[in-house]
Amino acid sequence: MTQLPAHCTAIRGAVLTYTGDPFVEGIEATRRYESDALVVVADGRIVAFGPAGEVAPQLPAGTPIEQLPPHQLLSAGFIDTHVHYPQLPIIGAYGEQLLDWLNQYTFPAEAAYANIEHARAVAHTYFAENLRNGITTAAVYGTVHPQSVDALLEVSEAHNLRTIAGKVLMDRHAPPELCDTAQSGYDDSKALIDRWHGRGRQLYAITPRFAPSCSPEQLETAGALWRERPDCYVQSHLSENLAECDWVAQLFPQAANYLDVYDRFGLVGPRAVYGHGIHLSEGELCRCHASHTALAHCPTSNLFLGSGLFPMHQAKRADRALRVGLGTDLGAGTSFSMLVTLNEAYKVAQLQGQPLSAGHAFYLATRGGAQALHLEDTVGSIAVGMEADLIALDLHSTPIIEHRMRYARDLDEALFVQMTMGDDRAVAATWVAGEKRYTRTPT
C-alpha pair distances (Å), 284 with each of 206, 248, 258, 277, 322? 21, 15, 8, 9, 11
Pick the CATH number of 78-372 from 3.40.50.620, 3.20.20.140, 3.90.1150.10, 3.40.190.10: 3.20.20.140
- State how far the Cα of 38 lies from the Cα of 56, in Å rounded to an integer: 7
pLDDT in tens, the chain (443 residues): 578 998 999 999 999 999 999 999 999 999 999 999 999 999 999 999 999 999 999 999 999 999 999 999 999 999 999 999 999 999 999 988 988 989 999 999 999 999 999 999 999 999 999 999 999 999 999 999 999 999 999 999 999 999 999 999 999 999 999 999 999 999 999 999 999 999 999 999 999 999 999 999 999 999 999 999 999 999 999 999 999 999 999 999 999 999 999 999 999 999 999 999 999 999 999 999 999 999 999 999 999 999 999 999 999 999 999 999 999 999 999 999 999 999 999 999 999 999 999 999 999 999 999 999 999 999 999 999 999 999 999 999 999 999 999 999 999 999 999 999 999 999 999 999 999 999 999 76
Contact in structure between 294 and 272 (CB atoms under 8 Å): yes
C-alpha pair distances (Å), 345 with each of 191, 206, 308, 341? 37, 27, 12, 6
Query: Any idea where the domains of the chain sit in the sequence?
Result: 9-77+380-439, 78-372
Query: What does CATH list as the number for 9-77+380-439?
Result: 2.30.40.10
* First-residue to last-residue Cα distance in the chain: 44
Rounded to the nearest 5 percent, the helix, strand and coil shares of the chain are 45, 25, 35
What's the whole-model pTM score?
A: 0.97
Of the candidates 341, 392, 395, 408, the one whose C-alpha atom is nearest the C-alpha of residue 368 is: 341
Tally: H helices and E strands in the chain: 19, 17
